Each structure stands twice: as structure tokens, then as C-alpha cells.
Amino acid sequence: MPQTIFQLFAEHRTIRHFLRKPLPENDVDRILTAAQRAPTDASAQMYSIIRVTDTALRDEIATLSGEQQHIRDCGEFFVICLDVHRLDKLLKRRGTRLGMGPRVSILYGTTDAILAAANLALAAEAIGYGTCFIGGVQNRIDRLSQLLALPRGVLPIVGLCVGVSDPDWIPAQPRPRLPKAFVVHENGYRLFRNDDLEAAYTAMAPISRRKDWFPTLERYFAPDGTMARREAVMAAAWRQQGFEPEG
């Protein structure tokens, strides 16, 4: 029975174990069509979706992304990119050129790409497939851009696995989220007190077997964490792909 949109949101689980079953081409077309129906700024559609079907290429991407086996196993793997290259070509075709600077290009191109990626994942889950976004494509975004033959003006934003979930590995419960009071502010930003922050840790404790959210945050966001290590690679990739801010 088809799920309502609110059921899909409530029951979303990230799937990291897939059966090696291909998706029917009709389903692939349906989810890609859904991606293209995402909102877009000024009708520009500043994104491109790379469908990775070559097994050797997938294997290399899985390695670059931190040995993420689910990239190899899932029925479909996509890399969603911001794309102002196509927009520049369209403008030049009629006698002008792209006037946006790199900061504006990154902001609006990333927004368009993420909206399309969200539609793609939601459509896949509505059909009954499992999904997993892959932020690890940023680990070696410079090398990935070369592997995918991306021209200047195109930059990978996120990967997406779609496929048949392995029933033996589906998480029993959706992962927790912060209470709304922590993310929804009315008429201005509400600053957090220490007891608010401890309440956030309590709310997110089930995310870890250790019942402590802090090690996860530390591993990704503290000095020498995953995000800090991506900084230099990202800077090099932005220069390589033509997104170096001026001044």
C-alpha cells in the first residue's frame, strides 16, 4: 500500500546494506523524473546527476569515499553535482556569459542540487527502495571530479545509494532527531543555555551504542575530525573546478 508523505518522513531509515538487485529501468526513470521536479532558483536547474553504472568506477568511488561497501552493492548509485557549466554554455549561445561569481554559484548551485537529491531519495523510498546519502564523496572530491570527467563549473555535492534493502540489516527504529525546540526558532534565533545543550545530548543519546552523542560529533566536527580533514581537499577541488572565490 502506498505510504503517505508523512509516513515516509516518520519511517525514514538510512540503509547501508543492500541486496545486489538491479532496479527496473522504469523505476529509475520515475525517480529521476521526480528529481527534476524539484524547486529551482530562477528556473536555472543548476545541477546535474551522474548515474554511475560502471562497476569498476563504482568500486573506485567506494574506496575514495572511505571503503563504503554499499556504493558497490546498491542497485543504483548517483552523484549529484552543482552545475553552472551548462548555464554558462546556454548564456554564451545567445551572446553573453555567466555573471555570477563563485560564491553565488556555490550557494545557489548547491541549493538546487540538494533539492533535486532530496526529491530523488524521497521518490525512491515512496516506491519501496532503501536509500543512503554519501557525504564521503567529499573525501577526495578533486579526484572524483576527474574520474567523472566533470568540466569546470561542475562540482560533486553528494552521493546517493538506491536499492533493495537487505531485510536482515534494516535498522529496527529510525534514528532520533533533536526536538523541534532546538531547530525551530520564532521571530529570531534563540540562544542556548547549558541545560539546553545537555538536553540535546540526552535526546540524541540513542544514536550510539554507547548512549552518548558526543563521540559522534567529536569524530566528525572537532579539530582533526572528518570535516576538518576535508578542508584542504575541498579548497583544491574548488580551484580545480573553477569555484575559487576572488579576494
pLDDT over threshold 80, residue 88 = yes
Q: Is 51 exposed, middle or buried (0-12, 13-18, 19+ CB in 10 A)?
A: exposed
Q: Which cell is 99 given?
A: 555573471
Q: With 0.85 as the threshold, say if the pTM is over it.
A: yes
Contact status, residue 123 vs residue 214, Cβ threshold 8 Å: no
In this predicted model, what pLDDT tens digit does every residue of 27-52 receive, in sequence order? 999 999 999 999 999 999 999 999 99
Q: Return the half-sphere exposure (C-beta side, CA atoms, 13 A cut-off) of residue 202.
A: 8
Sketch out the chain's domains with CATH numbers: 5-170 (3.40.109.10)
| Mean pLDDT to the nearest integer, 62-79 | 98
In this predicted model, what pLDDT tens digit does every residue of 138-169 receive, in sequence order? 999 999 999 999 999 999 999 999 999 999 99
Residue entry with cell 548509485: 77
